[in-house]
Every structure is written in C-alpha cells, then in structure tokens.
Amino acid sequence: MINLNPFCPSLHRRISRAARVIWKKAACCPEVAIVLGTGLGNLAKEIKKDAVIPYDVIPYFPKATTIGHAGRLVFGTIGVKKVVIMDGRFHCYEGYSMEQVTFPIRVLRKLGAKILIVSNAAGGLNLDYQKGDLVLIVDHINFMGDNPLIGTNDDRLGIRFPDMSEPYSRELLKLAEKAAEKNKIPVRRGVYLGVTGPCLETKAEYRFMRNLGADLVGMSTVPEAIVGVHAGFQTLGISIVTDVCDPEHLEPVQIEQIIRTANQAGPKLDSLIDSFIHELPHHAH
Ligand code: HPA
C-alpha cells in the first residue's frame, strides 16, 4: 500500500523500531522463525524458553483477534538452534492489510532469522488425504486477490519483482522428508491454495480449486511465503488437513471442529518441526 500518511513512518523504519523493542526485551538472535497456525500453539508451550514477548508491547504489530491464536513471540531453543515462534498469526479476514499480516515476518527476518517455517490448518482437496494428515507444501496458488508487495518497493527490504519459481525451499522440503522418515512421521506433499476467507468454500468452489491443481485450501500462509521470498527467507510450509473437502459428499464443518482436529494432530506437527530442526546443518544457515 502506498503510505500517504505523513505521520506514519516508512515500512523500513517501522520494522527497525519493532526489532529494537524486541532486542531490548530479549537479547536474542534466532536462526529459525516458526509461525504456528490455528490450533497449533503447543510447541510454544513446550519449548525451553528464553523470553516471551506479547504482541501488544511491540510497536506496529497487529493484535491477534482470532480464536485458536495466542498473541506472543516465544524465543527459545530447539536442539542447538535458537528459534522464535509466532504463537498466533494474522489473517486478511480479520481486516488486516497484507502488509500488516506480513509485518511480523519482516521483523523476524530483521532479528536475523533465515529459515521460516509456516504451519497452518487447511482443507484437504486431494481426496487421498485424510483428516489429521501432515502435508509439506511444495508450491502455492495465490487466490487472495491481493499481494503483500503491492506499493512502492523499498530496495532495502527486497527486489521489485521477486522470482517465485521456488517459494518453498526444495532443500528444506527434502530435509523435512528425511526427518519425517527417520522419526516415522507420515507426510504427504501438496499445492496450497490461499483464499481470504472467512467463509469456507462452496462445493462448486472446491470442485474448481481441485481442477486448478490445488491439494489444500486455507486462509493464510501465501502472504507470508511471498514476503518470505522478498525478504530472503528459506521457507518450509506445513499444513495439517483439518477437513476433507469432497464436493460430492460435503458435510458442514465448524471452526471448533477444525481447531479440535488441529489440536489432535498438533503433537505430530511439533515432532516434525523438532526433528526437522535437528536435521539442519549446524553452521550452514
Ligand atoms: N477452507 C479454507 N480454509 C480452511 C479449510 C477449508 O476447507 N479448512 C481449514 N481451513
């Protein structure tokens, strides 16, 4: 968005201010940033914590308004890696612009993180999937009708026309599959289609999306992955299938049910993330 408000500092300056406040509260240098999706907050409870910072003390951070999402940054250690967890994320359906939704991603990059793990609860369009399956995202389709990079480009943050041939790192995907195999965690692969929500999809839309080549549908992740590319992250995307979107046998779903399924599959996601981080080379990133 073009910033016409003379009292609103530039995106670059807002990122720096937010990072400075975080550095004051947590002398931290995370290598890996992890975004937890709907109902997937368990990892943030379990890890060895160095610091916890509520979003509402960080300048320019949006407020988390959605059920199933806390609103805090958790700094800690997994294996030998310093990590920062976004315990609660932002969505376009809350009324936030894509720039606001992805602001924290830029701040996490500013803090020094180079690897971004984005998780989400998603609908399964691929009928080979079952409820509770973990799916590694190989690619996405931006069906949100917007783009977080629209507006004046600040070259300090990234280039004007970022390449999108590999928004999700092949290298990290392979490491995640290796970690999953070692730990006997079944994982699938899939293409994620991002919509704004908040309503779920009609049968005709599910049919249409399957025909487009999507395996998963959800209301997040795409803006973060795009900014991930722009900001120079290597990104790993992981979905948990919370409902099966079979247009010919569609049953009504409720958000409580989606959250329950995400909660149930959460420990599997936690151990995948944990073992993936243990697979990362010690100094290469
Ligand atoms: N559609 C969109 N978002 C979702 C779904 C869905 O079916 N399930 C979980 N998040």
Please work out whether the CB of residue 193 comes within 6 Å of at least one atom of ligand 1.
no
The encoded tokens of residue 11 equal 């995106």
Number of compact structural domains in the chain: 1
Pick from 65-69, 107-111, 246-250, 265-269: least confident:
65-69
Query: Best-predicted range by mean pLDDT among 53-57, 236-240, 278-282?
Result: 236-240
Residue length of the chain: 285
Average pLDDT over residues 269-282: 93
| Residues 76, 78, 82, 85, Cα dihedral to 10° | -50
Look at residue 3 and tell me if it is in a domain.
Answer: no
- Please name which of 268, 78, 270 lies closest in space to residue 186, comparing C-alpha atoms: 268
125 alpha carbon – ligand 1 mean position (Å): 10
Mean pLDDT of 90-106: 95
φ, ψ of residue 137 in degrees (nearest 5) = -80, 120
Q: Kindly tell me if the per-residue pLDDT of 6 is higher than 80.
A: no
Reported as type and span, the H/E element at residue 125 is none
Residue 17 lies in a domain: yes
Q: Residue 75, exposed/middle/buried by CB under 10 A (0-12, 13-18, 19+)? A: buried
For ligand 1, atom 9, which residue shows the shortest CA distance? 122
**CB 216 near ligand 1, within 6 Å:** no
Q: pLDDT tens across 52-87, in order?
A: 999 999 999 998 776 665 789 999 999 999 999 999
Mean pLDDT of 203-215: 96
**pLDDT band at residue 227 using 50, 70 and 90 as cut-offs:** very high
Residue 268, pLDDT above cutoff 50: yes
**Higher model confidence: residue 40 or residue 17?**
17
User: Could you tell me if residue 4 is inside a domain?
Assistant: no
Q: Which whole number is the average pLDDT over 178-202?
A: 96
| pLDDT recorded at residue 43 | 87
Within-domain flag for 1: no
Quick count: other Cβ atoms within 10 Å of Cβ 200?
Answer: 19
Q: What does the pLDDT read at residue 15?
A: 97
Choose between 143 and 251: higher pLDDT. 143
* 40 C-beta closer than 6 A to ligand 1: no
Instruction: Determine the Cα–Cα distance for residues 79 and 280; give it in Å rounded to an integer.
Output: 10
Question: Is the CB of 122 inside a 6 Å radius of any atom of ligand 1?
Answer: yes
168-188 pLDDT, tens digit each: 999 999 999 999 999 999 999
How much is the pLDDT for 3? 67
Ligand 1 atom nearest 243 alpha carbon: 8
Q: Rounded CA gap, 54 and 74, in Å?
A: 9
Residue 204 lies in a domain: yes
265 occurs within a structural domain: yes
Residue 284 pLDDT > 60: no
Give the domain range for residue 141.
11-279
Let me know if residue 5 belongs to a domain: no
Least confident of 191-200, 207-216, 219-228, 249-258: 249-258
- Per-residue pLDDT at 38 exceeds 80: no
pLDDT, greater one: 189 or 9:
189
Grade residue 2 by pLDDT with cuts at 50, 70 and 90: low
pLDDT of residue 251: 85
Which CATH number belongs to the domain containing residue 65 in this structure?
A: 3.40.50.1580
Asked, for residue 285, whether it belongs to a domain, the answer is: no
What pLDDT is recorded for position 285? 45
Question: What per-residue confidence (pLDDT) applies to 252?
Answer: 87
> Which helix H or strand E contains 81, and what residues bound it?
strand 81-87
